Amino acid sequence: MAELQMLLEEEIPAGRSALLDSFTNLERVAEYCESNYVQSPDKQRALEETKNYTTQSLASVAYLINTLANNVLQMLDIQASQLRRMESSINHISQTVDIHKEKVARREIGILTTNKNTSRTHKIIAPANPERPVRYIRKPVDYSLLDDMGHGVKASAQNMKTGGGALPRTNPPTQKPPSPPMTGKGTIGRASVLQHEPPAPAAPEPAGGGLPAVPPAQFRHRATQHGPQPHPAQRGAPLHPEPSWPTRAPSPLHADHPSAAPHGLCGPGSGDHLRRAAAASTLRRAGV
């Protein structure tokens, strides 16, 4: 506070008065330099003297301005710190007033309340006689404990005793499983033949006295549906019945012919395949 008072009353007014005196002195120096340059016979010397006076005057003025500016800035800093202290004091006073109001309000509310009697007891009480831990006893693992649970396969009690919970054995099948459809090069499957092949006469018997050709797909399908046929000798039929098919098969090049075979039945290498299929169908008819 004393420093601020000293700045306001002494240093700042002294700096202002020094600047005013410097202003007056600069005017006198300017008049002297002008008259000296006019009256002096040595113009160069008069010019150098004028330059020296100008430099000294500018340095003096700059120093006075710097001193006065520093004093003003110091005064402003002191005033700012005083304002911060005053603000802190005001905030402290306002908080004190708020606390006092809160106490008064709580006191007024406390008049309307009643005391509650609470008994302080332990929430967790240890037992007087703690239980002794049970000794571990090893037991065998029962793997059939969960056999009757769920929706799995349930075996009989006899099988459970004899087989130990295993599945019952089943007898092997007595019938021969159906042979898979024979596929070869240049042919198509039986399902596609049944779907797309129109009812047409089968191919003729191959030349050279070999086995008869494969009958149409519809006759093969019926033969597989009705099961194995009796032996031809038992029913009085010849082993190799003479087919009543036409002696010449329709050309596969004419696709619009009604009796044309599907594409791929008469491809290269189909003769061997037809012979093997004819032999298989003959054996199937004979029940071998």
3-state secondary structure 121-139: CCCCCCCCCCCCCCCCCCC
Other CB atoms closer than 10 Å to residue 264's CB: what's the count? 14
Question: What tokens were used for 181?
Answer: 């459809």
pLDDT attached to residue 140: 92
Report whether pLDDT(76) > 80. Answer: yes
The pLDDT of 163-172, averaged and rounded, is 51
Other CB atoms closer than 10 Å to residue 274's CB: what's the count? 22
Which residues, other chains included, contact 198 with Cβ-Cβ below 8 Å and sequence gap of 6+? 258, 259
Specify whether the backbone of 165 is left (phi greater than 0), alpha (psi in -120 to 50) or beta.
left
CB distance 12 to 71 below 8 Å: yes
Distance CA 52, CA 159 (A): 132
Q: Tell which wins on pLDDT, 34 or 257.
A: 34
Report whether pLDDT(226) > 80. Answer: no
Look at the alpha carbons of 183, 186, 189, 190 in this order and tell me if their dihedral is positive or negative. negative
Give CA separation, 170 vs 148, 162, 235, in Å. Answer: 22, 15, 36
Distance CA 93, CA 86 (A): 11
The pLDDT of 82-111, averaged and rounded, is 95
Give CA separation, 187 vs 5, 190, 222, 267, 273, in Å. Answer: 121, 9, 20, 7, 9
- Mean pLDDT rounded to a whole number for the chain: 72
Distance CA 187, CA 220 (A): 16
Look at the alpha carbons of 204, 206, 209, 211 in this order and tell me if their dihedral is positive or negative. negative
The pLDDT of 90-102, averaged and rounded, is 97
Phi, psi (degrees; rounded to nearest 5) at 124: -120, 120
Report whether pLDDT(245) > 60. Answer: no
pLDDT attached to residue 260: 42
Which residues, other chains included, contact 77 with Cβ-Cβ below 8 Å and sequence gap of 6+? none
Phi, psi (degrees; rounded to nearest 5) at 10: -120, -60
pLDDT tens string 168-207: 555 555 555 566 555 544 445 454 444 444 555 555 554 4
Which residues, other chains included, contact 54 with Cβ-Cβ below 8 Å and sequence gap of 6+? 33
CA nearest neighbour of 233 among 194, 184, 288? 288
pLDDT attached to residue 219: 46
Band of the pLDDT at 127, cuts 50, 70, 90?
confident
Least confident span in 101-115, 127-141, 251-265: 251-265
